[in-house]
Structure 1
């Protein structure tokens, strides 16, 4: 309560509410904490200050299973804002649990890490990850550990309640997916249009910046001739120059037409009036060679696509960028191969109306595989592969150390992936549609920077403040998650996670 009342007292407007929120902390604030004229505790709080509201959804911390994460409030305000309230509980009996640095948004500067800036929602319709508003003078409209007088730790058997004010998801959905940095996402959380319980800052009374991260959904053909990135607005199709052209040539090979046919079909099905074609090279050679060669290759692809299209009214823009726009690290042969490409970009086709899908029993996804780490048996079990709105899918799985000694299991991030993420993450896995001969890689978050763009895996972190995520005690189990694109033409996919064997997993 001190958090929101302190903000209101400082001159910030307050959103319409029902009654005062339960206390944000369950321990006595330190002597330097801000003082407020707090209203009496509501019926949702016990005599000891515990927030007893029923949970709308819950999950468990990946690194700390004793950390229970619950949504206790999710309210749409003025049809454009969302108030999220998250209760963190220490269900253990003997150790305090740290929380403050873990709840910060990993895609913002470290100054935001002591705020609850990592509370977010998934806007499936807009294909974005929404985070709390940023005012001009603070990291976010959300709980701040220092300002609100909260301890860094949660005592055994105690809980704290955090809040965040963020933009409402588009399309006025009845439910949404709630995200935190510490645990797997919580799906189908109901959104209430009733006023929230408590007083919260009103983003309409001060300048604030919406913080959204665009989701990029990558996939590639199994023959590695083509890879596609879907950001919900545009498709970016990267065609391998090694397949399209002979070395140092700009004449299309006999294989090129069959490879470009799929791209032409996608352009035909899209609302595109302008299509950009960009040639790229790896770091071998120099600009005097790479620049004109990449342009000639882009022009060759443009002419071939023009002949394959079945509708009129499409204009092309062809450019050659040489080696100046690499997607991958040129230090490896694989990175160089992927950088030798011709990229076609155009508005994505509208997806067909999705037919109702049969829900698979959760028991059908209890599939397991085993491996070893430092001699200790490690078990992986699929918890679920669930279809979300907007062509998205959520894979959850557990890793358990079945051995008798503590061990590190580092294989979750040891991937020869085609994205260099900002931090290490559980990205060493993929889904395969065997019939369509297509592979789906973990989604990534696109974050603009002063120097270009950073990419973060839309999955469980295994570095940063969660650096111990890959260290397992004997018998310890952790749950991991990844977002993917899911094809709408199949109900079963091959799942390959790290060194474990492939598993045939039904989509729920």
Structure 2
């Protein structure tokens, strides 16, 4: 592929820092401190400058003084997208390393020296789109070694990198641009004009599209059911503890309202085939769990069939015993959630979407102490995105006089724990509907099956130090959620802080 990549005269140019084209869009919360380094031999020092106006501006959550700007977002042949990102060192005395900032956090560290984490959100397909993967290379994107880029950015200098990835479906006029280092950048305009510079052609050689399915969970406050929306199907996990008595397969009186809600969702769906799958926890043995889970699935099938108002729907009943747990059976809560009947069907068609608002609500915040240390929380936005998505952004500030760690964002309940530290300890609640929304998660295929990453600020690996706050330091975090279609205000709970009533914009 290297022989297809020409000199990126206008694309991999180095820019003077401080090109403040969109000051209103820039996030002003400082980020984490980067360790001071001596000037390495490979420091970026070229004289070329990229002075294009920025389409979107933000800053790294991890590294102080690193400004991130989208300077190009071009659709090619209606199928591909070329994203160009300018990274600027706005400091005066430190050389900043950029490769760890943009490496894809859902892949092995071998991809960390590439700009492999640049992506866009496909809201229609509920997918996180990443750069194409050619044969023998981790990424169709800027490479630290191949493109002659220095590892460090000098104070007052910039470097522009690129990624070639699939275009989001539906031919949208704008896109949400994602990087591992920053909160998502919303409403970035897509141009159908040819981009400046020469880029690798994804049609010139075999490449694989790398996408991460976005799954958006929510649950009723009474814990009777939880729903996961993966963009194609709804998976409604009905609690067996509510539906049935212990070791029984006859629906209880409490099951009627749950069945009615599930039937209404199926009625609103285009599904012709629905699956009701019974599951058990790890207690007992297969001789008990397998037939019991199947009888329970059949009971749910009978109830739903009687409640459906449209014809032509066939419900299949299956029983899997304890072989397909959703959560770790090591905890009582994990076991409770694994005892379920999962009803799966094509997701209902979304209602016509309103234009996405571009204004931000006024700050909403709280001050308090966490383990005796003073911190401030400020919600900077709860924004409605297309496709039923929502973006929550918030800033946490160390109000104390000493450096300290804030680890409460990843201290979630054990049943929902991820393998990787992330800002998962966040909830949105629709009090009137008695429904709670959990952070979205990214489905990542592995050799052993499927892994999950939080669709939120990453706090693992090279970003572990994001939880470390200098005195007065503020950091901005984010989470993607499902959002109810008509709610104007939601209750927000972040880590150990109290509840906040936050408007949806």
Instruction: Give the alignment's TM-score, normalised by structure 2.
Output: 0.92
CA change 1:356–1:206 in 2 (3 A) is closer
Uncovered stretches (5+) of structure 1, i.e. residues with no partner: 1-6, 34-45
Residues 93-242 of structure 1: matches in 2 within 5 Å? 93-242=92-241
Q: Is the 8 A contact 2:11 2:161 kept in 1?
A: no
**Given the alignment of the two structures, is residue 426 of structure 1 paired with residue 423 of structure 2, yes or no?**
yes
Q: Find the aligned partners of 2:250 and 2:51 in 1 and give their Cα distance.
A: 70
SS in 1 for 2:299: helix
Kept in 2, the 8 Å contact 1:12–1:206? The answer is no
Residue number in structure 2 paired with 1:62? 61
- From 374, 379, 390, the counterpart of 1:377: 374
**Contact 1:376-1:404 within 8 A present in 2 as well:** no
Who is 1:442 aligned against?
439
Separation (CA, whole Å) in 2 of partners of 1:74 and 1:227: 37
Q: CA–CA distance in 1 between the matches of 2:161 and 2:398?
A: 32
1:324-343 alignment, distance < 5 Å:
324-343=323-342
Q: Deviations over 1:373-419 (max 9, x none)?
A: 34320001000000111110100000000000011111101011653
Matches of 2:168 and 2:365 in 1, distance apart?
36
Counterpart-to-counterpart distance in 1, 2:81 and 2:408: 38
Alpha-carbon distance change, 30 to 400 in structure 1, aligned in 2, over 3 angstroms? closer
Equivalent residues of 1:220, 1:438 under 8 A apart: yes
State the distance in 2 between where 1:29 and 1:466 align: 22
Corresponding residue for residue 250 of structure 2: 251
CA distance in 1, matches of 2:415, 2:83: 35
Q: Assess if the C-alpha contact under 8 Å between 1:94 and 1:156 holds in 2.
A: yes
Please say if residues 373 and 407 of structure 1, whose CA atoms lie closer than 8 Å, have aligned partners that are also in contact: no
CA contact (8 A) 2:15 2:51 kept: no
Contact 1:432–1:438 under 8 Å retained in 2: yes
- Match in the other structure for 2:28: none
- Count, aligned residues: 482
SS at match of 2:184: strand
SS at match of 1:412: helix
Q: Which residue of 1 aligns with 2:477?
A: 480
1:12 alignment partner in structure 2: 4
CA change 1:25–1:146 in 2 (3 A) is: farther
- Contact kept, 8 Å, 1:234 with 1:347, in 2: the verdict is yes
CA shift for structure 1 position 149: 2.4
Cα deviation for residue 59 of structure 1 reads 0.4
Alpha-carbon offset, residue 29 of structure 1: 11
Q: CA deviation at 1:365?
A: 3.1
Residue-by-residue CA offset, 1:62-104 (whole Å, 9 max, x unaligned): 0223110000111111111111000111111111112112211
2:457 is aligned with 1:460: yes
Tell me the alpha carbon deviations over residues 158-182 of structure 1, each in whole angstroms, 9 at most, x when there is no partner. 1111100001111111100000000
The within-5 A match list for 1:314-333 is 314-333=313-332
2:14–2:50 contact (8 Å) kept in structure 1:
no
User: In structure 2, how many angstroms separate the alpha carbons of the residues matched to 1:191 and 1:361?
Assistant: 20
Q: Which residue pairs with 1:268 in the alignment?
A: 267
SS state at 1:239 partner: strand
Partner of 1:496: 493
Using the TM superposition, give the Cα deviation of residue 194 of structure 1 relative to its aligned residue in structure 2, in angstroms.
Answer: 0.7
Encode CA deviations 1:446-472: one digit per residue, 9 max, x unaligned.
Answer: 111121111110000111110101110
Tell me if the contact between 1:415 and 1:428 (Cα under 8 Å) persists in the aligned partners. Answer: yes
C-alpha distance 87-179 of structure 1, shift in aligned 2 (>3 A): same
Q: Deviations over 1:210-240 (max 9, x none)?
A: 0011110100001000000001110000000
Pick closer, same or farther for the CA change 1:417–1:223 going to 2, 3 Å: farther
User: In the alignment, is residue 471 of structure 1 matched against residue 468 of structure 2?
Assistant: yes
Q: How far off is 1:260 after superposition?
A: 1.2
CA 1:492–1:417 in 2, change beyond 3 Å: closer, same or farther? farther
Counterpart contact for 2:353–2:387, Cα < 8 Å: no
Q: Distance in 2 between matches of 1:479 and 1:155?
A: 24
Does the aligned pair in 2 maintain the 1:431–1:496 contact within 8 Å?
yes
The answer to whether 1:21 aligns with 2:10 is: yes
Partners of 1:22 and 1:142 in 2: CA distance: 12
In angstroms, what is the RMSD of aligned CA positions?
2.1
List per-residue Cα deviations over 1:297-324 (Å, max 9, x = no partner).
1111111111111111111111111111
Alpha-carbon distance, 1:48 to partner: 1.9
Structure 1 segment 375-414 matched on structure 2, within 5 A: 375-414=372-411
In structure 2, distance between residues paired with 1:230 and 1:338: 17
Judging changes above 3 Å, is the alpha-carbon distance between structure 1 residues 220 and 170 closer, same or farther for their aligned structure 2 residues? same
| Equivalent residues of 1:327, 1:419 under 8 A apart | no
Q: Which moved more, 1:337-346 or 1:315-324?
A: 315-324
1:90 counterpart residue number:
89
Contact 2:425 2:495 in 1 (8 A): yes
Query: What is the Cα deviation at residue 183 of structure 1?
Result: 0.6
Query: What is the distance in 2 between the residues matched to 1:468 and 1:401?
Result: 14
2:331/2:415 contact within 8 Å kept = no
CA distance in 2, matches of 1:374, 1:246: 42
SS at match of 2:226: strand
